[in-house]
Structure 1
Amino acid sequence: MPDRCPFMSFNVSKILAGGEVAKLLETDGDVAGLGRPSTWLQALRQQVDVVLGAAFPMFLVWGPERILIYNDAYRPILGDKHPAALGQPFWTVWPEVRAAIEPIIEAAFSGAAAFYEDLPVTLHRRDQAEPACFTFSYSPIPIADEVPGVLCVCVETTSAAQERARREESERTLLFLDRLTQATSALPTAEAVMMRAAQMIGEHMGVAICAYADMDADQDGFTIRGDWAAAGSTSIVGRYRLADFGKMAVENLSRGLPLVINDNLAEIAAHEAATFQAIGIGATICMPLVRNGALRALMAVHHKGPHFWTDRELALVREVTERSWAFVERVASQAELADSEAELRRITDAAPLLIAYVDRDERYRFINRGYEAWFGQPREALQGQRVEAVLGAAYDRVKPYLHAALAGERVRFESRVDYPASGPRDVQVDYIPRRGADEGVVGLYAVISDVTERFEAERALLQSETRLRLATEFGEVGLWDVDNGDGALYWDDRVRALFGYSPGVPVTLNDFYRGLHPDDLEPTARAYAAACDPLARHLYDVEYRTIGAEDGIERWVAAKGRGVFDAGGRCLRVVGTAIDITARKHAEAARDLLMREVDHRARNALAIIQSIVRLTDAADPAEFRQAIHGRIEAMARAQSALARTQWRGGTIGQVVREELAAAISAGARVRLSGGEIALPADQLQPLSMILHELATNATKYGALSVRGGRLEVSWASERQGWSLAWEEREGPSVTAPSRSGFGSRLMASLARQLEGQIVFDWNHDGLSVRLRASAPA
């Protein structure tokens, strides 16, 4: 075969892939820097055949011009750059990644292969810049003493990387909300709560300004009472009219919907944008607070310039707004309670409180009727006694507050006290100093409220909010909760299913440990202990296997959680989520198996090629090249067919049609018959090469070498496997050869790989061949 010939390789690719890129190359147009495909070197044509026949995204970078040639699987990565990118210099197509990728490609041209996983880049496609992540390998293609080209196999992993980033962002958000709660829950005034919340969310989100405002009764005027401004930004505290900020601001906020503007110069009317621009705002999220159908307040974050707000940023501002105003309302409620206490001091016996007066000697000089009920003694028996004698062991907890009040400080604290008659109660205690005529402290008023129900409600609400928030943010996950005091275990039905339990079945912590795979028991228990440790407070983040209690099925589970600690550092509970990752683990195992299979088959293919080169007989170099080329292409077609089915095999009919189409141009004189009989992967390549040898012989010396010759190929299933018949008719007179050539020996060897046999019958008017193969075990 001559070195320069019509580019028949792309006719092969059309049969294998039938793709758009192959069709573009079949036009045989000039490719910049490489010339017409029909003039390309054999090495380049073979590499392009491999790329076009692959089902995985692949491309070649060839020659000093770094010309880009890719397959159809790579087209989605290009986006609207296809088809103009085909045959262009790589850096003309991807100038935006040159700084990051050029050193890798140039190293490959120097002979150094490279592999990168989840490499972040920014691509310009679909008329915009978008972040993307890729896992890829660059492999040099050596020819003689140089590397004229580089092969890249790549896959876009943007979605997986973004999902991982979203999980990490969720964790950061939870930690931030926890810090916000701790920082604001004890602040004494609404103003202090809002100022602290504005500062924390502003710094966390990296915005220019975070502000909060009260609405006027007319639902239009509002006052920004306070804000936090980053360095370089100016405070916007003052009075404003909602209407001045535009129609969308009025409509959204009055309906309780957030106002989200990414670029006010582009998204709203010029006169509306001017109001924002005048106070240094280019992008904003403004979150309304609606109570009883009326717009009561606003909280907003702003950037100086355009900023595309994400759903997570919007959700965070909404959550912080709700929490902040909840704290404000709680502070307001406490203030009202304090006012009420002043009135209740004058009607002590009618109040549902414990009210007492204690002198400087710490003796009760007055108590109300509430003390009688809680302590189980008449007031006469209690009055005159010292506080320490009445409270007993609880005195040590109140002693510091008692002394502080007697020193002139008004004290409020909360505690849990076991009272003789009423049992354990959560109480809120106020110690109010009483001053004499000389302003010296002569005693204190003690006002004690029973807040047991409120504390229980708050604890229940906290548990409910924690479960709901986790369920909302993590989607299809199970929820679990362990009470670290008594070891009580809560599982929802999704977690029960992960351990093989039916819905609603009662479970204990022992059921959890019994359900773990023995190999995963110790590391899982160690991770749980670290989450409960008040010094470590590690995030509980484990993957383990479970053995279903009722169904015996092994499952993979990913679990995350965190300990909840009280002010003293005691772990109260551990709460978290669990998700079924069995499918992911199976997919990872299947991927590893596939890679091993590819490696195994590649080694086998190289061994066969070495045998073909060593044993092929040829009278001259051109005939030798043609024989080698044809046999290797038969192997390549078989490999491509396997790749399309992910190494699951094919059918006999598919292999027959593809091999005859590649080797025979006289299709009208060929008759095929047979059903679509499944062919396992390890039988596809031997059959393909046998058919190539028969077709080559028929076109050179057999029935298809003359005008009137015909060929019939049929195949059928048999009880122990399958058979194929090759019948040449009306061809040249043939006789059995005096010795077996390489082709005959090769076919006999290939038949043995099929665990079968091949029989040649040299009839007067044409060759007959019978091939039988065994079904795989």
Structure 2
Amino acid sequence: MSRLSAPLDRTAFPSGASETAALIRSFDWSKTSLGPIAGWPRSLKAATSLMLQSRVPMVMLWGVDGVMIYNDAYSSFAGKRHPKLLGSNVREGWPEAADFNDNVMKVGLAGGSLAYTDQELTLYRNGRPEQVWMNLDYSPVLDESGRPVGVIAIVIETTERVLADRRAAAEQERQRQSLQQMPGFVAVLSGPEHVYEYVNDAYVKISQRTNFVGRKFRDVFADLSDQAYQKLLDQVYASGDAVVMKGMELRLHGSADVQYIDFLFEPIRDDAGKVSGIFIGGYEVTDAYRATAALRESEARLRFLDALSRETATSLDADAILATTTRMVGEYLGVSICAYADMDEDQDGFTIRGDWSAPGSQSIVGRYSLAAFGKRAVADLGAGRPLIIEDSLAELALEEAATFRSIGIAATICMPLIREGRLTALMAIHNREPRAWSQNELALLREVTERSWAHIERLSAEAELRTNEENFRTLARAMPNHAWTSPPDGMLDWFNEQVYAYSGLERDGLVGQGWARMVHPDDIPFASARWAQALSSGESYEMEFRLRRADGEYRWHIARAVPIKSDGGEVLRWIGTNTDIHDQKQAVEALASLNADLERQVLERTRERGVTWKVSPDLLSVMTPEGMFETVNPAWTTALGWTTDHMTRTPYINFVHPDDVQASHNAFDRVKRGDPVLRFENRYRHKSGEWRWLSWVAVPVDGKIYCSARDVTPIKEAETELAAAQDALRQAQKMEAIGHLTGGIAHDFNNLLAAIIASVSLIERRLTDGKPGAERYISAARDAAQRAAALTQRLLAFSRRQTLDPASTDLNTLVSGMEDLIRRTVGPGVEVEVAGADGLWAIRVDRSQLENALLNLCINARDAMAPDGGSIRIETANRSLDQRAAKVRDLPPGHYVSLSVTDTGTGMSPETQTRAFDPFFTTKPIGQGTGLGLSMIYGFVRQSGGQVRITSEVGKGTTMRLYLPRHHGAVEGADEAVDEPVVDSGDGETILVIDDEAALRMLIGDVLAETGYRVTTAPDGPTGLEILRSDMRIDLLITDVGLPGGMNGRQVADAARIARPDMKVLFITGYAENAAIGDGHLEPGMEVLTKPFEITELGVKVREMLER
């Protein structure tokens, strides 16, 4: 969560609190050939961990460059060159020993080892040259494939000893005395028979003998003849060459212990240079040898544990993990059986659930009693100690040994697993023959037992955690607060939708440390430091800081996070929330400011307080946390009629209106919790029984609640009267607009109906009189009917129920085609500019409706610029809306084409913009507008799947922008020539016509019958459905959408298709009834024909549907 320093993370590599461990963790290894520490190979990490645990000065030279890593003891040897040596190449770190170290790297990376005793070098450890002597042991470090990848050195400085030896060499006698006191063993032999002349005490001690001088080596150590020491002495005496041996085994007769020594056989020469004797010097290195051996065993153990971890890492089943573990442990240790068991609740019974057995050994799976294996087994395992038996017959009573022997066990290590003070499980290794168990085997079994069960417990905890996390995320999606989660490293990895909505950031901008982009810069150090502290300690996190909202405002939040831990206390995950406390903070700050101001005024107005209390018109009071008035000023009696004595003896809630009791309780509780309450309103009962509105301010101070209330009843009454007046005014305005609309519609329809009626009357008269010339009256009647149809379409557009005829359209072409019409319409006083976007996407719309909408917008723009004129800019553009941009526009995300009309007129106020699309709303004078234009445009665009948005500022003009969905099909020709349709005759097909209008039902039936179809009719949905469910042949259903009888046309069609799935349906309707035909979308085999229609149009549509 933060790059700031934090307390020690016990899970970081390398672990430990030593100085060099901390330096290694903080060092930037990416600048070396080793690369970042997270990518180090296991071999490097294992060797580093082992080295850091050693108290012996050790340094590791990694890679061909010999990058230096060392422990605390070596840092002391390095002097002032520490810590700059860490991470440097050995050649650069010790330039004065470059040639020496080149040889070391060459031999070590070739797989060889080097050992130097009292190696002399000149080093500049502290800024000046120093002659130093060292015992140096170099060994190769192997990677997982066995290839040498580095060199590890044990550095023992011997400078002081060497200098002491040199000083002692000045005098023979002093040298001999010094030899006697030396910790190392020394002896002097003479002649080819190697007769002892001198031995020091150390030699006596290590040899476990006392009689040396004058005796031959062969006689003193007759039991060492097989160990080649005699042959080495003979070799040195004969060749004159010294022999140095390291880690030589010394096994003395009669001693059970094996010792290890480093020694030197050095020839002694006489004055003539002839070998006359041999000097023996050396050290017992048993402890060091065993430490090295233990180190090798530990490394091997770590490699095995690493292999075991890799083998079981992907397994999610406990038995599978333990089966793999027992097999690998048994094979690695070469035992007869490796098994695991679960203990019963009674701590005696146990079940061996699985085991591995070597060839020749039998499986021991089954149930057993611990007591049957003897008192020692019960005592050791019950106390949490491993049961270690090397020879059951020799160590146990016969009956106890018999239990082991019965299942083929002579030697065993049984490792207990203790959880919450109880023996929970066992893991054991067994051998058929007696066996001396090593400490390494014991340590390995202990480590494997803990790791295996920890792995199983972790898997169980992780599974439970995943379930809990899913439940948490479901809850978090529903909660209003910010919610987030983090793994143990503190890098946030999940947020609920409220965080994205608040911040305006995507997931990639928040995960990890990205969340800090939301935090106020002044708050980051404190928030990060507290988060780092929580991560290291595992304690809950709580911090207040400011978070930036998407609009740039910083708001105060309180962040809280709690760790989810395993049964072993390991942090598995963090779950956190952020709660907005900005308003509370502001209230507290306001209260603090008020308190400060009050404190200042207290000093200034102490004398005036009593007067203010008495004469203030505000209702002042002091209340107890129990809800009793402690004191009230006289204004209470004036406002409510109650006496002071009555007020102070009555709980405040007894005065509150029943509908306001809960809200009053909530407000009072907030004050008791320490939060001020500002402008809270409720109703109090007057002594006369009426209710008075009070507006409250209440603040807690020193355990009491100080209140100020004001009688706002007159204001409330005035607000109520004003709201009623405004509603009445809006209703009157709406009715006035409806009146204008209906009056205009009635006028237009009366004109059209007069033309139709007059034409029909003249046709009737001419037909009756037998006069010719009826054709022009027929034409006049048709023309009037078509104009009436156009009028109804405009009304349907207003009602947003028109049937659209969408076609793939090039918007640039449509605008270009209307440019001349628009210029003529707006007049010469308005400049028109058209800007069509290149590569504009196609759209699918009703072209005529879009043309009407564009013309209407231009006319509105012209009127907004009257009488001075101005300019109109018509612009098209491609728009890609992501989730946030689409949400702001109330659209689905996707691709859209925009059509914008911008004017330089008077602009709109925010209130006008809010109501611009309301039916009947207009800012024009009476008689100059009905308030339907924008409403009709809005209805058409929304029905086309788009949206309309207004951008306007008073005095600076307006932009009306239409968003229409992109269409991926080819653009259809807008002005293709259409041949006059030819109606083909029917072929005897049967058509069912359902319409509640008898005249129209008759006309449709006659037209279809004359064309050659068989026609059946029905006046309503139920009657038609009864026919459809009969055995009658019906090839096509023609139905009105709006029908009586409880079923509309779509419902009839859907019910018909249950019995006749392929039924073709033609809807005829005066408007597109969305609920009836599926929100304007028809299923295959369904089409719609809008009333009124030509007879020819009906015949063509019927023929087309029947031939499909």
TM-score (norm 2): 0.27
Structure exhibiting the larger radius of gyration computed from Cα positions: 2
> Of the two structures, which has the highest relative contact order with CA contacts closer than 8 Å and spacing of 6 or more?
1
TM-score (norm 1): 0.37
